[in-house]
Amino acid sequence: MYCKIIITSHQSDGPIMATLLLFKQGLKMAGLGLGLEVHIKEIPVKLYDDSKGNVVIHLGIAPGAKCITLEQTGKNHCYKNRDVSGLCPDHHCCIEEGPERLDSIIDMRSLSNKLTTCRYLCDFVYYYSLYHGQGKAALIHVPASGSLASPEKLVPQLQTIIQALLRQLDCPEHTTSGYVDSKQVENTEEKILHKT
């Protein structure tokens, strides 16, 4: 039994894509690659085609952010700004007649205090994934600059977050040697996920 993860980011987020490649390699080096299939794709991607996974994790850039932010809810309406391709939905919503809000089945609240997304491409894609994936999606905003945005710091932090997400989804082989020091995770989460 294995867990398939699809991780996406926008193609203009060049540093993030480079970090994701290091992250994927880091998962394998940490022993998380066994039974874990990780696909890294640039947005736009055709979601929910033959590459459907157990969970879809979207990474977005948050200019001015001082910490990593995990989002709980995707919103369907109020998309009035054009995206990076200059497009805006005709009815300013992601899915016509879809629910106003969708929550991830992953308890992001247990990992983060900040739960609000702006109505940009990240939230649009997140809502779409939640709608079509029965809530099995996550949106993680990472800082655009600063020391936390460096691959050396971002990769281990993303590994810790992904381990916690997989534990909630009960995917196999999501911990190094079947064990993660909960004190280490708590300390890492406190440093990383909460604004100071």
Q: Is 74 left (phi over 0), alpha (psi -120 to 50) or beta?
A: beta
3-class SS of residue 61? strand
Closest Cα to residue 142, out of 132, 154, 133? Answer: 154
Given a contact cutoff of 8 angstroms between Cβ atoms, the answer to whether 46 and 175 are in contact is no
**Would you mind telling me the total number of residues written for the chain in this entry?**
196
Q: What is the model's pLDDT at position 83?
A: 72
> Of the listed 3, 67, 94, 122, which one is catalytic?
122
Measured CA to CA, the distance from residue 103 to residue 116 in angstroms comes to: 12
Is 3 a known active-site residue? no
pTM for the whole structure? 0.61
Is 71 a known active-site residue? yes
Give me the CATH code for the 3-193 domain, please: 3.40.630.20
**In the predicted model, what is the mean pLDDT of residues 47-69?**
68
> Of the listed 10, 58, 141, 174, which one is catalytic?
141
Local structure of residue 77 (DSSP, 8 states): B
Local structure of residue 160 (DSSP, 8 states): H
pLDDT in tens, 70-110: 888 888 888 888 776 777 778 888 888 999 999 998 888 77
User: Domain residue spans in the chain?
Assistant: 3-193
**In the predicted model, what is the mean pLDDT of residues 156-162?**
80
Q: What is the model's pLDDT at position 158?
A: 80
3-class SS of residue 124? helix
**pLDDT category of residue 136 using cuts at 50, 70 and 90:** confident
> Of the listed 67, 71, 94, 174, which one is catalytic?
71
Query: For 125, what's the count of Cα atoms within 13 Å in the CB-facing half-sphere?
Result: 24
Is 186 a known active-site residue? no
Cis, bond preceding 44 (omega within 30 deg of 0): yes
First to last CA, the chain: 40
For 83-193, strand residue ranges (E) read 101-103, 137-143
Q: What angle do CA 100, 80, 9 make, to 5 degrees?
A: 80
